[in-house]
Amino acid sequence: KDGSMYLVCDYIERGRLGNLLNSEEVTQELGWGRRVNIIRRLADALAYLHHDCSPPIVHRDISVNNVLIDSEFEPRLSDFGTAKLLSSDTSSWTAVAGSYGYMAPELALTMRVTDKCDVYSYGVVALEVLMGKHPGELLSSIASVTNMTDLLLKDVLDQRLPPPTGHLE
């Protein structure tokens, strides 16, 4: 009656992905199958934003703290406060937005927003889900070393879980 508007959102039971990855109690529940599903579903969400929306939407702040996990361990991309619509008739130049450690290097250098900025951030999140920790040290070593032949996948995966075996659904 009073003309007030309200925003009603789903309650996402498990909270932020970053908190779950840092929780020793949840680590075993967040096994390889669930982690792979989270990575896949986030890729689906980005594909929708970048290819199925008109105009395309660039999130600009993909991080483990902006992915919420529901009771079934399904991810929900959240916090669209810095999102930008990519329209051919508007400028794609922007002020820096995003979370430190997840921002594409070219965005910080060129200030030009493209869907590739989200893809870089998604890659950082995917690595973090697999590693159980932010991959900053790994990314720095890859950028500074030309010969990474001694790097094995088993050494990068979250050591709190047994190694994955067989086919992951």
Contact 61, 79 (CB under 8 A): yes
Catalytic residue among 61, 70, 79, 115: 61
Please indicate whether residue 61 is annotated as part of the active site: yes
Structure-block tokens of residue 25: 């109690």
Which residues are marked as active site? Answer: 61
